[in-house]
Every structure is written in C-alpha cells, then in structure tokens.
Chain A
Amino acid sequence: MSSTTAERRSFRWPLVLQIEPRIDSPRWLAPLVSLVAVILALVIGAVILAIIGGNPFRAYAHIAGAAFGSLGVFSDTLVKATPLIFTGTACAVAFKMKLWNIGAEGQFFMGALGAGVVILAGVVSEDASRFVTLLAMAVGGAVFGAAWGFIPGILKARLRVNEIITTLMLNYIAIALVNYFIFGVWSEGGFQMTRVFQRAAWLPRLSDLADQFPIMRGLTTHAGFIFAVIVAIVAWYILFRSLWGYEIRLIGDNPRAAAYAGINITRNTVLVLMLSGGIAGLGGMSEIAGVIHRLQGSISPGYGFTGIIIAWLAKLNPLIVIPVSILFGGLILAGREIQPAGVPRLIQGVILFMLIASEVFLRYRVRIVRKTA
C-alpha cells in the first residue's frame, strides 16, 4: 500500500466481502476453481521455498523432471499411481455413502495376502496358465479385501459400531496377519518375505514388449495400471449411472429420506463397505503381482491412507481419482529425488489445503462490494 500515514489514518477500507449462497453453479466453475487453487498452492509453496533459501523454480523444475521428465520416470510415476487409483477409488465409493472407511490400508494388505495365498497355498498349480493364475489371484485379492470390508460393515449395520474405529483397527490386524504368514508360514530362509512367485503370477509389464518395441526397454509400468483405470471407470458408472449408485448417493445425502423411499440401508452398508474393501484388495493384488512378485511386509508406504486424501481431492469422483493419483504418484517419486524430501510432501499438503478451502467458492458467491455508509 502506497498511501501515507496521515491518509491511512483517515482512510477506511471501503470494500467488504459479501458472501451469499449460490443457487446454481455453472459446469465450468468446479474445474476452474480447482485449477486456481492448485496454482495458488504452487505459488505459496514457491514462497516458502524462497524463504527457506531455495530456488523455487529450480525445485519445481526438478520435481517435474523427476516425476514426468522422461518416459522412464513417467512410467515409474504410473507404477506409483496404480495402487493409489485403487485405494482412492475404494475410499470414494465408501465416502459417497458417508461410510468413513479409513481401512483401505488394511484391505490393501488383505488383498495382497489373498493373492499370495492363491499362489503359496497352491490353489492354482505352478504350471497353470498366466490368465488362470492372475484371475485366481484377483479373485483372492478381491475376496480377502471385501471380507475386511464386511467385518466393519456388518458391525455397523447390525450393532451401529462406528466404522471409523473398526476400519482403523482392522488395518493393524491385517498387517499383523500378513506378518504372521511372511515370518512364520511362508518365510523364505528366515527372511521376512515369501519366495518369489512363478512367472505366471506376474502382471505383464511394458518392458516385456521391448523385443518388438525397443523404446519400452526398462519401463516398469504393469497391466495393473490398466486394471486400476478400468476399476475406476466401473466404480464411476456404479456411483453415477446405476440404480445402486443412486441408492448409495441418496443414503449418503440423507439416510432418513432413503429409508422413506424404501431403500434398505442395512444391506447397503454391508455391500458398499465390501465393494470398497474389494477394490482396495484388488490394489493389493495388483501391487504384489505387478511390482513385488512375492509377499512381504513393506508393500505399502501408506497407500490406503493417501487414498483418503485422493478421494477427497477428486471430490469423490472415481474418474478424477485417476489424474489426482498420477499427480500424487509423481510427488511420491520426486520425494526420493529431492532433498530435503519434505518439499514434495509440503506441496502435497498445501495443495490439499487449498483445494479443500476452495470448496467455499462452489457453494457461495463471494463478492467484494463497496461499503454502504
């Protein structure tokens, strides 16, 4: 402000903020507001970087390069994004019915266990075809994940047990259960991991095609990414185009109205948590079949929890979960490159904060008007 002290004293800010609810918002408003929020978040991040003595432009360029700079790193970004699409979609489905499933992490582990059991307990024979093996693993993962959604679902539906507590606690149980198997039952030579799965249990990778397309050499992106995108699209269809999705959205907005419309809330509580758990479970299967190729302890750096954030950023829309997951995948990857590693996380946090804060502009019209005397 360039006004002098004397002026400032007599000067009264003539403008006030006027906030009124919006009756209707145009279609372009939501994406525009989100875009502006992300840009502002990057600006704030840049200011913080400058304050701590970094060069924000170089830092951003480095992050972008580390995550999206070449085919190779972009492929790695997609690998990181794949489990996030699964867990983000899983959370979005449950949150849409206002079921606060924060157990995607545990359901992810159970999915990995389910897929592992199929291989290690010999449910499919070692020389079964790749198609049969992978299909059996997917079924195993989905069923185990769904079971981990069924438990909080039935407890909530029948006994009104708070699903936040149960899903959170079941995370620890799932991880401990996986540990039991990798430490005790299927431990390979005393290490905390099982044997490597047979090749038929590996999801195909882009690098498998390197013979025909040399450019694919070394690319780690696996078919799980495709499946993740398909799952997100199917989840979107269920939520926004199907009869069941209509019921889910109606219960989510007003359970009493849903009961009045004759919708069975008890049944839907169980089914939706099972669907959510099943999707997260598929994520666990995709991760061990596509990346790790064995069952071990550290299969997730918290994908299930990041999924919660992703679901919110995507405004519970599974289609938007896909790009948001890719962005987050990139930031996770860049976190390994950038020092201090906290910088990409800081940016994640600021973006999240800005996007959530920007909601107000969708629901309200904020105007700056001249103060009336």
Chain B
Amino acid sequence: MDNLVEMQGITKRFPGVIANEDVDFELRPGEIHALLGENGAGKSTLMSVLAGLYKSEEGTMLVRGNPVSFNSPRDAIDLGIGMIHQHFTLIQSQTVTENILLGLDEPRFLMRLSHYDKQMVHVGDQFGLQVTPDAKIWQLSVGEQQRVEILKMLYRGVEVLIMDEPTSVLAPQEIDELFKTLRAMVAEGKSIVFISHKLHEVMTIADRITVLRQGKVTAARLDPKQSSKAELANLMVGRKVLFELEKTAKEPGDVVLDLQQVSADNDKRLPALHGVSLTVRSGEIVGVAGVAGNGQSELGEIITGLRSCTGGTILVGGNDVTNRSARTSINYGVAHVPEDRNHVGTAPNLSITDNIIMKKYRDPPLAKRTGLDRNAAQEMAKGLKEEYTILAPSVETPTRNLSGGNVQRVILARELSSQPTLLIAMQPTRGLDVGAIEGVQRLLLEQREAGAAILLVSEELEEIFSLSDRIVVIYEGEIVADGIEADAEKVGLLMTGGSKVHAKEPAA
C-alpha cells in the first residue's frame, strides 16, 4: 500500500532545544496511526510541521508521493491535511455553522445560514457525528465542541486528520463516542494521526504505532497486536542516566500530611481526583509519578487551599484543612512551589522584593503597626538573593525580566526560607537547564534533612527516582500504586494506565 504522507529526516529546533531530530513518519490511507510519547517528546511539534504550523529546519515531506512545503496551515488544508489542537479554536458566542464557515471563501457575502445548517448535518451524518448546527458553542459540552472541530476539518475536505491528545479533555463515555467517530471516518477512507501518551487508548484504537522519546523515534510502525503495554512503556519512558545526588538514609518522622479519601473536580467540573489517600511523613520525600493531566495539579491545589474538595479529609500536622482557605494552609506551614511560575507563583510586574515577601508580609519584622517595613523587606530580599543566587541587577527588578531559572529561585527562596513543615513541590525543575535542575534538587534534599515533609510531583521519572523515599503513581485521579520500587518499566506502565498493582504498605 502506498503511503499517503511521508516525513523523512525531520529536524525542528527551537531556541535552546531540539524538538525533533531526524524523525521519519509515514501514514497510509485509511489507517489510524498513533504517535506515542511523553510530554515534551516532540509529538505535537512533529505534527505541527505536517499541518503547516511550523517549518522544519531539515527533512522532506511527501504527500501522495509529491514533495511539499507548507507556509501556513491553509497550504496543508489545501492538500487535505488538518490538525485539531488540544485547545480548541472555536468562537464561544457563535453557532456551530458559523464557526465551521469561518475563514472559508464561501459564503461570500450573504450568510444563508439555514442552507449551510443543512449541509453541516449532512456532512455530520456521513461520519456519525451528531451536531446541532444552530447551537452556540458555549452551550456545548467539551465532547460536542470537539465534534465541531472534527466537522470543521471534514467540511474542508480533509483526508488526513491529526488529533493532538484528543481524549485529554473528555469524560470516559465521550472517549467511546470519539473512537466510534474515528472508526467511521477510517471506514470512509480518511487517515488519522492520533497523538497520545495513554497506552491503553493507543492499544485500542491504533492500527500502527510510532513512539517518540526526547525528539527521536524509538520505534516505528509497530503493530499493536504484536506489541505489549510493557514494551511500549519502556520505549516511551526509557531509562535515563541518574544524577549523582547525595542522599542520606533517614528514618521518616511523624505523619505531616494525611489525605483520606479525597475527591475533587477539575476546572471543567469533571471529577479529577477519586478517593485519594496518601500520607507524607516529616523528613520524607514522596514522589508522585504520573503523566500530566492525571490529577496532579488538582492534588497540589487542594492541599494548598486553592481548590475545594468534593469529599474526604485533609490533615496537615493533625489539623483539618479541608476546604479551608489558602491562608490556613500557609499558617500551618505549608509551602507551595506552584506548577505555573509566571501566572501563579509570581506577580511579574512587581519587584523581586515584593515577590519574596508575598507570604510573610503579615508577620514581623515586615509588618509594623503603621505599615510595611520596606527596609526590612529589602534586607530580607537581598539576603535571599545572595543565598539562592538569584541573578538580577537588583532586588527592585521586576520578576518579568528574569529568566525561568531565576524566577524559580525567587519562588524557592520565598517558600523554603519559611522553614516549611510541608512542601508541595509541583514540577519544580520543569523547563530549567541542567545546572539549575541540580540546584533545585539539592534544595529539596536540604529541606528533607531539615525535617520537612515533601510531596514532589514531577513528570520526570528520573527526578522522582533519585529524590524520593517513597514513590506513588497517579493515574486518572487515582493512586494506582503506593510504595513501589524505582523501576522505570513498571512505573511507566502504571502511569500510562497499565494494570493496577496492589497497594503495598509503605515501609516506615
């Protein structure tokens, strides 16, 4: 069978990173080809090149055997290649039909919406896509919005549909619906690239699988029937060289954080955590392994009082903090290194000083009877700038002017200098360079020495393995393993939805 699309030797660089390195990929007519890999492995980048969003530095692309070069997504769509991104590009206040027609040459002036409404239904029926053409986007569920995106591409006559993590926003029954649609489309001769990091989904839906790791292909054109989840997990996560970090043996102390059967919803009001139970002891680092979007963010937010629980109890040092305020958690000594440094962790237009005092300004020596002691604040900031080697012209520099690593140091300086009893470290080294990563990891170990209880959430398995005293695995909002050994293959399998293992009692 001839290939519909062939990508050969694709290399795509971004400043400081190689997103794709000499990648080959092919797609046959009428197949679902899964592109599997961890976050940041370069899946979306590769497909954005195919969809005309990015231009690769090296490599060639053939469509139906002819070499092509795309300058915009429109060029790609003209050749029948369309991509649906993780974040939808729909206009909330307009109807389904209006959204689909947007940017097309027809209709030219008069909308004649009712005429096009019928066309939409007709195209939808072909692929088993039920749509209400005159509904406004905001009235639709996420699953329905995704259908509109698919219909948008089908209406443009797309033959190759690229779907970037299409299931990440869907509820389980919506996923079944989506899979039905995908199969209907393939039956009509369309080809689909299915980007995912979820093994079981890939095993269910894909005809063939290509695995990416750190921008390179680790396995191409695998047949899921002749492969196993364990093999795929290994190809996807791999084994990485571990850092040499000095970590002393230490008996953990008393339980500091105690989650009992905690449940919570995500921003879309879908359940994100289901009955999570977890303990962290003083002087212990508990690493939470998991692929992004499996409830880690929500886990961090409920403990720090930024999100409310729908059930269960959270105890910090024996005090009930369930559904109390962020202030309550701070007062009980909970420090929080948030996932999103620039939108949550700092106020970018305020100075380093103002960012450093964010959680201490209510207490002496900063708070005085009449106001804030600015000299004391500056002294504190200067001291911490020195101690945490924050590189900046002065403590009055706004944090928006700092590099990612330095912003993270500002946050760490603020959070760690308060001698927390519990530290929630969310992706503390994400996006940092190697030297900065090591610095951050050393700081975490120092806190462990100082007796803090640390909950470390990271997508970097290597980091979890080298820092944690105990490893738990989170998958779809549940702790699927507690106290598991640092085995990349096993953990990788668990975090991508492999079989649940029986929770083992943590050694304590």
Contact = CB atoms under 8 A, between A and B. Distances in A.
A257 B346 contact: yes
Contact of B401 (A24, A249, A257, A258): A24
A369 B347 CA distance: 34
B158 to A, nearest CB: 37
B299 to A, nearest CB: 16
Interface in A226-258: 237, 241-243, 245-246, 249-250, 253-254, 256-258
Report whether over half of chain B's contact residues are helix, strand or loop; otherwise say mixed.
Answer: loop
A148 B329 CA distance: 35
Contacts of A21: 401
A11 interface: no
Interface in B377-435: 393-394, 396-397, 401
Interface of B: 304-306, 325-327, 329-330, 336, 338, 340, 343-350, 354, 357-359, 361-362, 367, 370-372, 374, 393-394, 396-397, 401
B349 A242 contact: no
A254 B343 contact: yes
A254 B347 contact: yes
B367 A243 contact: yes
Nearest to B393: A24
A315 to B, nearest CB: 13
A264 B325 CA distance: 9
B371 A242 contact: yes
Contacts of A262: 305, 325-327, 329-330, 359
Given A243-B361, A250-B350, A260-B306, A23 B344 contact: no
A261 interface: yes
22 contacts: A23-B393, A24-B393, A24-B394, A24-B397, A237-B371, A242-B371, A243-B361, A243-B362, A243-B371, A249-B354, A250-B354, A253-B349, A254-B347, A254-B349, A260-B336, A260-B345, A262-B325, A262-B330, A262-B359, A263-B327, A264-B325, A264-B327
Contacts of A23: 393, 397, 401
B347 A250 contact: yes
Given A253-B350, A262-B325, 8 more contacts: A21-B401, A243-B367, A250-B354, A257-B346, A258-B347, A260-B306, A260-B345, A261-B330
A260 B326 contact: yes
Contacts of B374: 241
Contacts of B394: 24
Contacts, number: 78
A261 B354 CA distance: 12
A360 interface: no
A254 B367 contact: no
Nearest to B343: A256
Contact of A246 (B305, B330, B361): B361
B306 A259 contact: yes
Interface string A70-105: 000000000000000000000000000000000000
Given A246-B354, A249-B350, A256 B397 contact: no
A258 B343 CA distance: 10
A223 to B, nearest CB: 26
A261 B371 contact: no
Nearest to B360: A261
Nearest to A242: B371
A165 to B, nearest CB: 17
A326 B27 CA distance: 72
Looking at B338, B357, B371, which has the most chain A CB atoms within 10 Å of its CB? B371
A261 B355 CA distance: 10
Given A23-B397, A24-B401, A261 B326 contact: yes
Contacts of B349: 253-254
Given A243-B362, A243-B371, A249-B354, A256 B325 contact: no
B390 to A, nearest CB: 13
Nearest to A237: B371
B241 to A, nearest CB: 35
A258 B354 CA distance: 12
Contacts of B393: 23-24
Q: Which of A21, A22, A246, A263 has the most CB of B within 10 A?
A: A246
Contact of A254 (B306, B346, B372, B401): B346
A261 B329 CA distance: 10
Given A250-B354, A259-B306, A262-B327, A243 B401 contact: no
B204 to A, nearest CB: 37
Contacts of B327: 262-264
A237 B372 CA distance: 10
A23 to B, nearest CB: 5
B354 A241 contact: no
A22 B344 CA distance: 23
Contacts of A264: 325, 327
A245 to B, nearest CB: 8
Given A23-B393, A241-B371, A260-B338, A253 B330 contact: no
A262 B332 CA distance: 12
A313 to B, nearest CB: 19
Contacts of B396: 24
A22 B325 CA distance: 37
B347 A257 contact: yes
Contacts of B354: 246, 249-250
B348 A254 contact: yes
Q: Kindly list the 9 A-B residue pairs having the minimum CB-CB distance in the complex, ordered from nearest.
A: A262-B327, A253-B347, A254-B347, A242-B371, A262-B326, A261-B358, A241-B371, A24-B393, A257-B347
Choose among B304, B327, B329, B372 the residue with the greatest number of A CB atoms under 10 Å from its CB.
B372
A21 to B, nearest CB: 7
